[in-house]
Structure 1
């Protein structure tokens, strides 16, 4: 049997594929955009509720970064628990073909991995994950329900429940506060001032810019004195008398008469 037809087919394959349009790369969707609200540097205070009734508190810092491409949020948590250094690492993303969020967690206290899957509610402001793992202290398989609620642009709360059949027990609660850089939240600023905030209702300000994925961080009251730092078209950067450097709508500024 001649192998010539097979060889010809193999040689022709690259040419045939080259004539076709290259496959389109996957693009981030709505659920991937929700991950942006969880990104940033966060100061964390946690409470762990033991079956004995004792409550153990911990303090940590989480750094959460959205990988290039926008599909996966990678987080590192560091701190101390009961005087012992603690390091946790997680990955969270949305698998579009499965129509579900997928996550994993490992830490420096055990050799086990927590794998989870879930969904979101309220336009991504509530993320619900169900995970399975093994508890080496209780020596049993566990099912953990994790609910992350975004309270505002700078606050999120994580609650973890131990699920055994129809029984659900709160085992941990952590409050995350976004760490804002010193250029954005400083001591009171004494001027000189170039403008005041006009209007009856004041104006929202954005620390990252009006295009940021999260909501505005706050609102300047009418009459707040500011110094114009930089104009960016319909928005500009100002520094307020309260020490906040942020983006505001240019139309909301009223020049101070000399």
Structure 2
């Protein structure tokens, strides 16, 4: 508890410093303009909570809850039957991959590693799934050996359909530029041994279509 208290106090000092950093002459001049004054007035003032409230809030933020328990139930080895489409009218391309899920950092995040083949080449991917207690959102990051960037998606869980819908953007690697494209993923729990993931993105006509579907089956 003593170490935790010291951590909270240290973070409070850093946070206060970040909110009260000295301004350069240029920043002071900008802050004195009417537009800046209006924006500052419109911004909601921040009041630093007392230390007891800070500890309570931070403890709530860092404590795994029901969503993390649900994520932990997905731990283990999975086999994925992958179907991909290059365009809405293109023939499907099928392959098989493996996934291994495990909770990390005291059950706060789920790390998953993926292996398989894509376009005739060995494929490796890694994702980290988080549930943010403050924003009440799921956040997913993805990296693989087919690129050098990172995809970040955010979304929510629908208990009625037992599905998670995540949205975000990813760099379009074939454009040769920093062009980004919209991505939507729908992750659904069928039963304890079966899950599906569908990925959607815009086609050449700008209309969204399903570009990937993976059926996961829990391995014995």
> Shared fold by TM > 0.5?
yes
Give 4+ residue runs of structure 1 displaced > 3 Å after superposition.
Answer: 20-25, 163-167
1:47 paired with 2:83, answer: yes
Q: Which range moves more in the overlay, 139-148 or 39-48? A: 139-148
Q: TM-score, normalised by structure 1?
A: 0.58
The alpha-carbon distance between structure 1 residues 166 and 98, as it changes in their structure 2 partners (threshold 3 A), is: farther
Q: CA deviation at 1:54?
A: 2.9
Query: Secondary structure of 1:97's partner?
Result: coil
Give the structure with the higher percent strand.
1
The alpha-carbon distance between structure 1 residues 172 and 124, as it changes in their structure 2 partners (threshold 3 A), is: same
Q: How many residues align?
A: 163
Query: Secondary structure of 1:23's partner?
Result: helix
Q: TM-score, normalised by structure 2?
A: 0.67
Q: CA deviation at 1:114?
A: 0.7
The alpha-carbon distance between structure 1 residues 141 and 29, as it changes in their structure 2 partners (threshold 3 A), is: same
Distance 1:64 1:110 in 2: 22
Distance 1:138 1:69 in 2: 40
Q: CA deviation at 1:112?
A: 2.1
Match of 1:28 in 2: 64
Distance 1:69 1:125 in 2: 25
Match of 2:170 in 1: 133
Q: CA deviation at 1:37?
A: 3.1
Match of 1:161 in 2: 200
1:177 paired with 2:214, answer: no
> Based on CA coordinates, which of the two structures has the bigger radius of gyration?
1
Q: Gaps (5+ residues) in structure 1?
A: 1-13, 181-258
Q: Gaps (5+ residues) in structure 2?
A: 1-5, 10-50
Give the structure with the higher percent helix.
2
Aligned 8 A contact 1:59 1:81 in 2: no
1:102 paired with 2:139, answer: yes
Q: CA deviation at 1:23?
A: 3.5
Structure-to-structure mapping, 1:8-27, within 5 angstroms:
23=55, 25=59, 26-27=62-63
- Name which structure has the greater RCO, CA cutoff 8 Å, separation 6+: 2
The alpha-carbon distance between structure 1 residues 46 and 138, as it changes in their structure 2 partners (threshold 3 A), is: farther
